A = this chain, B = another copy of it.
Amino acid sequence: MSDLRSFDVELIQHPEFVDPQTSVLPTFALLQQDGNLYPGAKAPDISRELALKIHDTFLFIRALDERLLASQRQGRVSFYMTETGEEAADICSTAALAADDLIMAQYREQGALAFRGFPLEQFMHQIFSNEKDLGKGRQMPIHYGSRDLHYMTISSPLGTQLPQATGYALGYKRSGQKNCVICYFGEGAASEGDFHAALNMAGVFRVPVIFFCRNNGYAISTPVHEQLAGDGVAGRGPGYGLKTLRVDGNDALAVYEATRLARKMAVEEHQPVLIEAMTYRLGAHSSSDDPSGYRSRKEEERWRQKDPVARFRQWLIHQGWWSEEEDETRREEHRQAVITAMKKAEKVPKPPLEELFTDVYKEMPWHLQEQLEEARDLVERHPEAYPATAGRKQA
């Protein structure tokens, strides 16, 4: 305790208000759209195997997103969100972590989960909220979670995972575990009060956390210039005592390298880091959204030219690690796998009635037991009104 402020400060006699317009952080970029490195750039030390795994995850997520969005349009799925255009951001950052570092995602980071090896079937069970869903069919589609894969279950309220990430990372620090937490969030969510609390506490407690912002230009219809007036989200990092870097979010190599270095600082020095990945949401916000109400095709087209997946593929081809033909084959394989898995998952029944009442508490208290009994009677008396649960044998 005690006031450690220094008396030995620089004094000025002219009131020079700092002008927020003057300082704009540069963007770290390695790979050009044609798959060549920028002059002077050095590719990170990335094995062929890892590179192909990243790319395969790209292709898988494209297939998954495409098919599920189409299925939503057909009414087979109630809701969906794609991450098209942003794959490099979540997938390559996760690729730079240890497999047991905790991921706290917002909702548009299914790629990170896929990279960790979440089975296609599990994606589908969650989407169809059936009885095999790890989340027991309780949350809307895309609210994945996997304890085994260190991927915290998604929560819809925006920003809440940020201070939790600081806390989780503090837990790592306390238990001496050599891990970090990566916390994903959008530039919209960064306006929530929880963002402020999270980054400030991370700076004060010096915990191993990487705050990874996907600045994709929009929060639903709200463009980033109506969201904030400073230098993006990165512009706020130093103010919290965080090491900060802006990165081209569509550049798989730059994202990987930035995160690799961030992890080193986080784990070895307990230095919290903020990374802002500049990217673009090529698709709609969600299956409920139509972006033509708030942006132009021309703008979308301009960003489509910067597609992270195509860029990385070009690099792989330049490396001699991949070909267009292999790419086509693999895309088709993923597509078929998704279709097959979807068909299966659709047929799996909903969770049993009990699951409505379990997990509110660790043990079911008397009032919930009573309500479960009441619900059982109800379903029995009105089976026609409760097709999902009526007639199913009880657990």
Contact = CB atoms under 8 A, between A and B. Distances in A.
B238 A23 contact: yes
A191 interface: yes
A245 B203 contact: no
Interface string A243-276: 1110110000010011001100100000001000
A1 interface: yes
A250 to B, nearest CB: 12
Contacts of A329: none
A328 interface: no
Interface stretch (A4-12, A47-55, A175-183): A4-12
Interface in A204-238: 204, 206, 217-218, 221-231, 234-238
A228 B200 contact: yes
Given A223-B2, A229-B204, A235-B239, A11 B25 contact: no
Contacts of A241: 20-21, 228-230
- How many monomers of this chain does the complex have? 2
Contact of A18 (B2, B11, B20, B238): B238
Interface stretch (A27-35, A131-139, A339-347, A348-356): A27-35
Contacts of A9: 24, 26-27, 278
Contact of A223 (B4, B11, B38, B295): B4
Contacts of A229: 200, 203-204, 206, 240-241
A16 B245 contact: yes
Given A11-B27, A11-B38, A13-B28, A2 B296 contact: yes
Nearest to A206: B229
B13 A40 contact: yes
Contacts of A26: 9-12, 16
A254 B17 CA distance: 13
A303 to B, nearest CB: 8
Given A4-B224, A20-B240, 17 more contacts: A1-B226, A2-B299, A3-B218, A9-B27, A10-B26, A11-B27, A12-B29, A15-B254, A17-B244, A18-B243, A20-B241, A21-B241, A192-B193, A196-B196, A204-B229, A206-B229, A236-B236
